[in-house]
Amino acid sequence: MAVKRYRSKKKKLNLPLVLFGLLLIGVAFVFSLATLVDNHDFGGEQEAANQKLSREEFIQTLAPHAQELEAGYGVLPSIILGQACLESNFGQATLASQYHNLFGVKAFGNQPKVNLETQEYLDGQWVTIQGDFRVYNSWEEAMDDHTRLFVNGVDWDPHKYEPVLQAKDYQQAAKALQKAGYATDPTYADKIISMIKEYQLDRFDE
């Protein structure tokens, strides 16, 4: 009895479908590679670059109004900007980002306020306390209020911050802030001066 031999028929490849599959594989590979590169920390250089850009954008946002306040009241833009950068962590702190309070200004009486934790230097050590802070409608409004404090002083001493306005440069102004008791931090003046130097904030001073 003769045995029938069957020849397997070779299937023809569907060329367009194969090419489409290869294309999908290529796209997936490129995407995976891009993700790997994006997530890789090359010594933190990319993160640092983004952070520096973000900080410069913050400075550039505030600088024009700071210069307007200098023209009107004589307070140095470098001081306004230096304090804003330090007090608000370049606008990233909750008080600044959500409530537009750049300078940690406390609230009194019926002023719009929010109660948040803060750190103050008391009796030779840092302690965490709850405080009522002013709520503003904008960063510009916070800057205006900050400048009015320098110009008008406080109820018990209208001339409290006159030395800040009379200072010839930002170093004198920062030390005058410290002497007037603007902040409880004993190194406040040094921090403001360092901030101004690091980001060259005196470039905005006329």
Distance CA 142, CA 66 (A): 11
Residue 157 annotated among the catalytic residues of the structure: no
- Which of these is catalytic: 120, 141, 144, 205? 120
- Asked if 144 and 69 count as a contact pair (C-beta separation under 8 A), the reply is yes
Residue 145 annotated among the catalytic residues of the structure: yes
DSSP state of 112: -
pLDDT tens by residue, 42-72: 344 434 444 454 899 999 999 999 999 999 9
- Asked if 70 and 37 count as a contact pair (C-beta separation under 8 A), the reply is no
pLDDT tens by residue, 161-190: 999 999 999 999 999 999 999 988 899 999
Among 77, 67, 66, smallest CA distance to 170 is for: 77
- Which of these is catalytic: 132, 141, 145, 185? 145
Phi first, then psi, for residue 131 (nearest 5°) are: -145, 155
Predicted TM-score (pTM) above 0.75: no
Low-confidence stretches of the chain (pLDDT < 70) are: 1-53, 118-127, 129
Distance CA 103, CA 114 (A): 14
